[in-house]
Amino acid sequence: MHDEYILQIIGITKDYPGVRALDDVKLEVRSGEVHALVGENGAGKSTLIKILAGALRRDEGEILFDDANVEINSPQEAQRLGISVIYQEFNLVPHLSVSENIFLGREMTRAPFRIINRKREEREAEKILSGLGVTLNPRTPINRLGVAGQQIVEIAKALCADAKLIAMDEPSSALTEREIENLFALIRKLRSDGVSIIYISHRLDEVFQIADRVTVLRDGRWIGTFPVDKMSKDELIEMMVGRKLDEGFPKGNAEMGGEILSLKGVTRKGIIEDISFELREGEILGITGLVGAGRTEVVRAIFGADEIDEGEIYLDGNKVEIKSPIDAIKMGISLLTEDRKAYGLILDMTVRENITLASLKNFSKFSFVRRRQEWEVADRFINELRIKTPSREQIARNLSGGNQQKVVLSKWLLANSKVVIFDEPTKGIDVGSKVEIYQLMSRLAENGAGIIMISSELPEVLGMSDRIIVMYEGRITAELAAENATQAQIMTYATSSIKRDFQHENQISE
């Protein structure tokens, strides 16, 4: 049983103008295995999954599913075969509810008139969601959810499709440890039921934790397929990037200067409560906690994206009113958000335009000089951050997810701010580029900027921060010096009353 393949992808090639995204790629997935697919940003992972999902046409190659040669020309056909996909870029309908999205195209109907049975859908949705360990109202419209919530819905949608094969394109990138553990428990259960999983992630620890075998892609080519227990993390990284790599956190030695930003008792009723902290020049302040703990809401308040009910914000010792993001940018505050599509990136503009947009006024007034300067700056970032693009004039939409993230990053790095806020800066970024982003962060700090880094990845928080703030349910529960802090300690403060919560949930379900 274990040796039979549910899926064999053979010799797949896919060209885009100027880019060969896939070149003679193969992928063989056994029944009931978790098969990881790894590679750097732009390696071709998502392209391969989209072809499998019928969302994209291949130029060459064959797909065998359940031993039959199949043409998958549409997502509906993929679904009919029993292939279900969690997309990296979510595929949800914003104004529909959570449960409507989960059952979209597979509505539960009631005889005799095939009326859609919303109540039953909502009950089923609730069951799937609580299996994932989250409480989310099935009637909430999607556009009211944050990135993490949307990711959960995308996962739930794939899980309830009764698939033989589920491809998950970075399903964990917006989730925290606890939610990932629930997801893994579900994956293990699916596997024991004989379902096969293709699992894409840049978090290699996850690959070793959950996968049976791993296939490595590099520059659109198949590099190899291996059982994970026969290989080390270093070997895997070397295979992915084609060179040896120093992992770790290149934290610089920035000198700490005076206080640049401080919050005193900042409150948004029912969302964040009595938030106070200071940030100094050259300092990297990590803010961590579970998804939904209010971390993003704190930086939205600083950035003028949400109004605050109480409390004060000081910049350079002066009390300020930050009424909008434009105010914030003028005052020298930058925000790099986790939701790059909503805030950071203009998809229909070129890479160059996106990079230089926020700082155009810094370029020369003479159009011909200016153009040259813009080119130079864009090319410099493309090189430094190794943004994979055929040219600076490529439309941002056509870059891979991680490369889009790097473009947004360049834009803010160029804006020369006093306070730079990173919200999950390495989400979806490959191992090699992560190090480059950390180096840039250190460089900003060394140049005197104050940095706030929100992150759920504890090694990153511990490795890069000078000081760490932990949040739980809208409040700060701890402030720790990074040198002495441990993961276990942070988790305790981040989950202070989870035990009670679980009991509460159990009571409800009885």
Ligand X SMILES: Nc1ncnc2c1ncn2[C@@H]1O[C@H](COP(=O)(O)OP(=O)(O)OP(=O)(O)O)[C@@H](O)[C@H]1O
Can you give the binding site for Mg ion, defined by CB under 5 A?
A: 46, 88, 401
User: Ramachandran region of residue 304, left (φ > 0), alpha (ψ -120 to 50) or beta?
Assistant: left
Rounded Cα–Cα distance for residues 52 and 84 (Å)? 9
The footprint of ligand X on residues 427-466 (CB under 6 A) is: 430
Among 79, 151, 196, 400, the residue binding ligand X under the rule CB under 6 A is 400
Residue 130 identity (one-letter amino acid): S
| Phi–psi pair at 262, nearest 5 degrees | -145, 145
294 within 8 A of 471, measured Cβ to Cβ:
yes
CA distances from 499 to 133, 191, 271, 389 (A): 13, 29, 21, 47
Between 44 and 289, CB nearer to ligand X: 44
Between 99 and 398, CB nearer to ligand X: 398
Rounded Cα–Cα distance for residues 92 and 89 (Å)? 9
Between 175 and 399, CB nearer to ligand X: 399
DSSP H or E run through 487:
helix 487-494
Among 42, 286, 289, 294, the residue binding ligand X under the rule CB under 6 A is 42
Which one of ligand X, Mg ion, none interacts with residue 149, CB within 5 to 8 A by kind?
none
Question: Any contact of residue 88 with ligand X (CB under 6 A)?
Answer: yes
Read off the DSSP letter of residue 256.
Answer: P
Residue 470 identity (one-letter amino acid): V
Rounded Cα–Cα distance for residues 56 and 46 (Å)? 10
Cβ 170 to Mg ion shortest distance, Å:
7
Between 19 and 445, CB nearer to ligand X: 19
Which one of Mg ion, ligand X, none interacts with residue 354, CB within 5 to 8 A by kind?
none
Read off the DSSP letter of residue 391.
Answer: -
Which one of Mg ion, ligand X, none interacts with residue 44, CB within 5 to 8 A by kind?
ligand X
Between 271 and 395, CB nearer to ligand X: 395
Cβ 18 to ligand X shortest distance, Å:
7
203 within 8 A of 430, measured Cβ to Cβ:
no
Residues in binding contact with ligand X, number by CB under 6 A: 20
Cβ 213 to ligand X shortest distance, Å:
18
Between 350 and 400, CB nearer to ligand X: 400
Q: Where are the beta strands (DSSP E) in 87-180?
A: 109-110, 115-116, 165-169
Which one of Mg ion, ligand X, none interacts with residue 42, CB within 5 to 8 A by kind?
ligand X
Question: Any contact of residue 21 with ligand X (CB under 6 A)?
Answer: yes
Which of helix, strand or coil describes residue 121? helix
Between 218 and 295, CB nearer to ligand X: 218
Which of helix, strand or coil describes residue 145? coil
Cβ 469 to Mg ion shortest distance, Å:
31
The residue written with tokens 């948004």 in the block is: 268
Between 46 and 84, CB nearer to Mg ion: 46
Cβ 431 to Mg ion shortest distance, Å:
15
Cβ 400 to Mg ion shortest distance, Å:
5
Residues 343-382, mask of contacts with ligand X (x by CB under 6 A): ----------------------------------------
Q: Residue 336 has which token pair?
A: 């790099």
Which one of Mg ion, ligand X, none interacts with residue 39, CB within 5 to 8 A by kind?
ligand X
Rounded Cα–Cα distance for residues 365 and 448 (Å)? 28
Among 47, 172, 182, 442, the residue binding ligand X under the rule CB under 6 A is 47
Which one of Mg ion, ligand X, none interacts with residue 122, CB within 5 to 8 A by kind?
none
Cβ 285 to ligand X shortest distance, Å:
28
Q: Which of 42, 404, 501, 17 is nearest to 240 (CA)?
A: 42
CA distances from 491 to 163, 203, 204, 478, 495 (A): 35, 19, 21, 11, 6
The footprint of ligand X on residues 106-125 (CB under 6 A) is: none
Question: Any contact of residue 392 with ligand X (CB under 6 A)?
Answer: no
Residue nearest to Mg ion (CB): 46
Rounded Cα–Cα distance for residues 345 and 378 (Å)? 15
Task: Sort 303 into a burial class: Cβ within 10 Å, 0-12 / 13-18 / 19+.
Answer: buried
DSSP H or E run through 324:
none
Question: Any contact of residue 241 with ligand X (CB under 6 A)?
Answer: no
Could you list the residues that contact ligand X (CB under 6 A)?
16, 19, 21, 39, 41-47, 88, 388, 398-403, 430
